[in-house]
Amino acid sequence: EGVNPQEYTLIKMKVKEVPEEWVEAVGEGSIFLVAATLRPETMYGQTNCFVLPEGEYGFFRMRGGDIFVCSQRSALNMCYQDLAASSADDKQPVCLMTKAGSDLVGLPLEAPLCQYPTIHVLPMFTISMQKGTGIVTSVPAEAPDDYACLMDWKKRANWREQYGVKEEWCAPFDVVDILSFPDAEDDLPSAPAICAAMKIESHRDKDKLAAAKKDVYQKGFYSGVMKVGPYAGEKVIDVKAKIKQDLIDEGHAVPYFE
């Protein structure tokens, strides 16, 4: 947390089937896994959501009555930003229950703008609990980390077995192309293409992924044109703020700073 706060968008992904034992602990209110993103305009391309299996996630009561699942650290920030309800005496976020990331794996979610009616939670070993909410929404068409991680779960039966990941949570979810690049001079690669070209074997390959990321983000943001949604045909750079505002106005997202 430096001098210049980063502005993220929190994407609300609704838990579609709440396990019965959770209802007792958390009571009334819809439960959302919330992911911090810098690229709200890419939410049309979501295929799944990632958590850190050994991370600790709290269920926190928000001011409007919703329950957000996120790291304790981000919930405290949400209190300061008047998003989260806080106890009268010590201004701490109200934590109704905690779960390990591994307990969230497999949950069916409804995610805003997503082309799939239901997506699932998968593990990602490179998530930092010190950034955002500790939950990452996955857009494999635009983010090499997301692409590499989704592919790991699709192709590694031994990992799936070890982490209790069912094939049906990852195998049917193909990359959703959401941007086109009509500018002929632009020869920067897409996320799947750069992962193939650099022979990135797994999402644990952090050094290669760091190198892969730069070009892909640059390309998506500066040269991308929306392929889907009400702003199809318009440049990402021109519609990013509008898509973000639409998500916020419709109650699917909230601004968040850290």
Which parts of this chain interact with ligand A2H (CB under 6 A)? 6, 36-39, 42, 127-128, 131-132, 134, 136-139, 142-143, 146, 217
127 or 200: CB nearest ligand A2H: 127
To the nearest whole angstrom, how small is the minimum distance from the Cβ of residue 35 to ligand A2H? 7
To the nearest whole angstrom, how small is the minimum distance from the Cβ of residue 49 to ligand A2H? 9
Q: How far apart are CA 15 and CA 19, in angstroms?
A: 10
Q: How far apart are CA 48 and CA 171, in angstroms?
A: 11
Contact in structure between 248 and 254 (CB atoms under 8 Å)? yes
To the nearest whole angstrom, how small is the minimum distance from the Cβ of residue 75 to ligand A2H? 14
Q: Which amino acid is at 258?
A: E
To the nearest whole angstrom, how small is the minimum distance from the Cβ of residue 140 to ligand A2H? 8
66 or 142: CB nearest ligand A2H: 142
- Strands 56-61 and 67-70: what pairing? antiparallel
Tokens 């957000």 found at? 68
To the nearest whole angstrom, how small is the minimum distance from the Cβ of residue 133 to ligand A2H? 7
Q: How far apart are CA 151 and CA 209, in angstroms?
A: 14
**Which residues is 49 bridged to in the sheet?**
121, 137
157 or 232: CB nearest ligand A2H: 232
Contact in structure between 61 and 29 (CB atoms under 8 Å)? yes
Quote the tokens at residue 215: 């070009």
In residues, how long is the chain? 258
To the nearest whole angstrom, how small is the minimum distance from the Cβ of residue 117 to ligand A2H? 19
Beta strands in 62-192 (DSSP E): 67-70, 95-100, 108-110, 119-123, 135-138, 179-180
136 or 176: CB nearest ligand A2H: 136
101 or 134: CB nearest ligand A2H: 134
**Which residues is 253 bridged to in the sheet?**
11
Q: How far apart are CA 184 and CA 48, in angstroms?
A: 31
Closest by CA to 141, choosing from 163, 103, 174, 93, is 174
- In the bound state, the residue with its beta carbon closest to ligand A2H is 132
165 or 179: CB nearest ligand A2H: 179
Contact in structure between 132 and 148 (CB atoms under 8 Å)? no
6 or 30: CB nearest ligand A2H: 6
To the nearest whole angstrom, how small is the minimum distance from the Cβ of residue 37 to ligand A2H? 3
